[in-house]
Amino acid sequence: MTILVTGSTGRIGARVVEQLARGRHAVRVLTRSPDKSAFPPGVLAVQGDLLDADAMRAALVGVKTLFLLVSNAPDELTQAINTLGLAREAGVQGVVYLSVTRSGLYTDVSHFTAKHAVERMIEQMDIPATILRPSYFFQNDVMQKDPLQRAGLYVSPVGEFGVSMVDVRDIVDAAVLEILRRDGADTPLPSVAYELSGPDALTGSSLAALWSEVLGREVRYAGNDLDAFEANMKSRAPAWIAYDMRAMMARYQRDGAVATQEDLDRLTTLLGRAPRRYRDFAAETAQSWQA
């Protein structure tokens, strides 16, 4: 039987495909342009997207396990709900769905609420699934290279409540483990959910101090100005994304997103090791910039 991966060209999906292909598993990927995408040997690329029901029906033929990653988009909910419906029709035995932490709490953040609605469908339709709820990615901060190095500023307005950020590599490892667990089962497995977070509750001030240490220069937290953050986002992304990110940062500032010890223990058990620390990511990143 086959594993189908969506979102296969992004920073998470591409790594999931690479790991699965390395293990010589039967992997199929959905992409709009198979001829323009480079995938590992043995991976079958099929043309289509999540809004094309006919293409999805064809892509799902013979698929046992689905990794469902839907990128942040205005029609994210439609893409995910339709795909899950088609997967049920096709007899897919297991789904691994990439959601987001606090999906049911941050109701004023559009992509959180969309993912929560997908989780509700999974529960109501009794779809055998693993729901992965990652926090804010470490790797998002790679985009701060210029303000960190040139101005000595950490500019993401995460506030002072605390956010337990997570390494993309831990998300990928968790996804692959759950994909293979479901794909290797003879019958559908019970549904389960994991919060994916790192071990540190990071604040704007603590992040600035950490970057000061690894860069060997003074770094200050730029503060909680959401107007400035949204304006900066709009210079490189559509206005709806800029507002969505502003709403997320506002909730971080107001409520935070701090992992519980139980969540960290469960993730450690799943990974077979402790989740990565932001400090190590920052040190690796600073070294790569300086190189």
For residue range 117-135, what is the model confidence (pLDDT) as tens digits? 999 999 999 999 999 999 9
Q: What's the mean per-residue pLDDT of the chain?
A: 96
CB-based contact 7:69 (threshold 8 Å):
yes
Beta strands in 136-244 (DSSP E): 153-154, 192-196, 220-221
pLDDT score recorded for residue 36: 77
Query: pLDDT for 43-84, tens place per residue?
Result: 999 999 999 999 999 999 999 999 999 999 999 999 999 999
Pairwise CA distance, residues 144 & 283, whole Å: 14
Each residue's pLDDT tens digit, 236-282:
999 999 999 999 999 999 999 999 999 999 999 999 999 999 999 99
| pLDDT digit string, tens, across residues 226-237 | 999 999 999 999
Assign residue 245 a region (left: φ > 0; alpha: ψ between -120 and 50; beta: otherwise): alpha
188, pLDDT greater than 80:
yes
pTM of the model: 0.97
Please, what is the Cα angle at 285 between 281 and 290, to 5 degrees? 150
For residue 37, the model assigns a pLDDT of: 77
What does the pLDDT average to over 162-187? 98
pLDDT at 1 over 80: no
pLDDT attached to residue 291: 83
Return the pLDDT at 45.
Answer: 94
- What does DSSP assign to residue 148? I
- What does the domain layout of the chain look like in residue ranges? 2-134+166-197+263-268
Mean pLDDT of 196-206: 98
| 2-134+166-197+263-268 is a CATH 3.40.50.720 domain | yes
Question: Which residue has tokens 């198979």?
Answer: 34
pLDDT at residue 142, as a whole number: 97
